[in-house]
Structure 1
Amino acid sequence: MDKKEFRVLIKYCFLKGKNTVEAKTWHDVEFPDTAPGKSTIKDWHTKFRRVEMSTEDDERSGCPKEMVSDENILKIHKMVLNYRKLRLNEMADTLNISTEPVHHIIHEYMDMRKLCAKWMPRELTFNQKQRRVDDSEQCLKMIKHNKPEFLRRYVTMDETWLHHFTPKSKRRSSEWTVRHDEPTPKRGKTQQSAGKFMASIFWDAHGIIFIDYLEKRRTINSDYYIALLDRLNEEITENNRI
């Protein structure tokens, strides 16, 4: 049953003197899978009592059919292809129509949606992308040749920001209560401190090799990463991880 038919039934229950609880019980028995919720029945019941609602569907503005023409669809399609960041009001102003038919054409006829660009530190050049492909293929060959030895010698790293103070999560601050009527524990709202520093962590199959903490006012550039790799080489040699 659709919404209009349910409104008719609820008004029938109202005219028969049934309250919202009785109407809800009757609907659950007769239409267990599609019956409206308790709040919906209560809301409709109140509007029927105040004569603020009828059993007919409300009029909707809709989209004028003359605006959704093949000509407008073709024009909007060309505009979007020429400039993907074009906004609805800009297309509507160009065609001298409202934004509603433009929105209707883009979503219903062209099946398009607008997505935000994914942020990334910087775009790689063709040579950098090819270098990553070559390195990945070389690693795959080494794995196939001797997987245990490759995993033993493989070293990876990651970077993370560490705040000077990080508040406990809601789960970590939970406490056991002795009685059911015991009040809920309270704690003041805290935020992460603004002060933070970056940690670079290197590890292999045996565990962490070393952690480097970025010095204040130190610039992250190629010299910084070269120094990190030199230190990594020294740590691996000293710990006999070759």
Structure 2
Amino acid sequence: MVIADPNVAYERIQHEIGISPGAVHTVLHQSLQLRKLCARWIPHQLHPEQKQNRVKWCHEMLKKLNNGNSRDVSKILTGDETWIYHYDTETKQQSHQWCEIGEGPPTKVRRTLYTKKQMYAFFNTMGVKTVVPLEPGKINNSTWYTESCLPLVIKAISLQRPGTGLRGTFFARR
């Protein structure tokens, strides 16, 4: 049952096989040595070719930067797209309800995401240098990135480094 449906619940196993909850626990945890974990959320799955390209780029950068021993490592500025989701949450205390004795706890539908904000964070070995939000109604594409985003990054980095500006800065693209 677990192979057919990795999300199968104790109750379903108990009901379909006709064994006690304790027996289900023993079989799953002691005999099969399984445990139920929450899946991690990832923004997207990389294809093998994309993974290989990233590894190749990292090897090239290590060669250029003397396996990380070069001072030029701190000159690398990279950016990453970030999504911020907003939920209308309610605390546990706020969700308490009076129920009659013997009644089960009330159920509550999880609220769905109602808004999102996309932005790019630019950072180097010293931490985040600047954040550029995607303006409402704009589309994240190469035109927005080169005409709206990068000029703001260049201005912010130049202001942080008076006298030197962007001199010696490497922009790394993921």
Q: Which range, TM-score by smaller chain?
A: 0.5 to 0.7
Q: Which runs of structure 1 show a deviation greater than 4 angstroms over 4 or more consecutive aligned residues?
A: 158-162, 194-199, 203-211, 226-230, 232-238
Determine the C-alpha separation between the residues in 2 that align with 1:120 and 1:146: 28
Q: What is the distance in 2 between the residues matched to 1:232 and 1:110?
A: 55
- Offset at residue 211 of structure 1 (A): 4.5
Quote the residue 1:157 is aligned against: 79
Q: For residues 122 and 228 of structure 1, do their structure 2 counterparts lie closer, same or farther at Cα, with a shift above 3 Å needed?
A: farther
Structure 1's 123 and 223: CA in aligned 2 closer, same or farther, altered over 3 A? farther
Q: Which residue of 2 aligns with 1:114?
A: 36
Distance 1:111 1:152, change over 3 A: closer
Aligned counterpart, 2:70 = 148
Unaligned runs of 5+ in 1: 1-78, 163-193
Q: 2:140 aligns with which of 211, 215, 220?
A: 220
Show CA shifts across 1:123-175 (max 9, x none). 1111111111111111221221784352253112356689xxxxxxxxxxxxx
1:239 aligns with 2:146: no
**Paired amino acid for 1:213:** P
Number of equivalent positions: 133
- Report the equivalent of 2:91: none
Q: Give the letter aligned to residue 101 of structure 1.
A: A
Larger radius of gyration: 1
Residue 98 of structure 1, CA deviation: 3.1
CA positional deviation for 1:198? 5.2
Q: Separation in 1 of the partners of 2:127 and 2:16?
A: 62
Residues 50-107 of structure 1 show CA distances to partners (whole Å, capped at 9, x for unaligned) of xxxxxxxxxxxxxxxxxxxxxxxxxxxxx32333222222222332223331122111
Q: Calculate the TM-score normalised by the size of structure 1.
A: 0.42
**Letter of the structure 2 residue corresponding to residue 95 of structure 1:** I
CA distance in 2, matches of 1:207, 1:92: 51
Structure with the bigger percentage of strand: 2
Match of 2:94 in 1: none
CA gap 1:145/1:93 in 2 versus in 1, 3 angstroms: closer
Q: Please state whether the residue corresponding to 1:129 is helix, strand or coil.
A: helix
C-alpha RMSD over aligned residues: 3.9
1:137 corresponds in structure 2 to 59
Distance in 2 between the 1:135 and 1:213 partners? 27
Asked if 1:82 corresponds to 2:8, the answer is no
Counterpart of 1:92?
14
Work out which structure has the larger RCO, using CA pairs closer than 8 Å and 6 or more positions apart in sequence. 2
> 2: distance between equivalents of 1:161 and 1:122?
12
How far has the Cα of 1:203 moved from its partner? 4.5
The alpha carbon displacement at 1:234 in A equals 6.1
- Residue 110 and residue 207 in structure 1: after superposition, are their counterparts in 2 closer, same or farther (change >3 A)? closer
Q: Kindly tell me: are residues 127 and 142 of structure 1, through their superposed partners in 2, closer, same or farther at Cα, counting changes over 3 Å? A: same
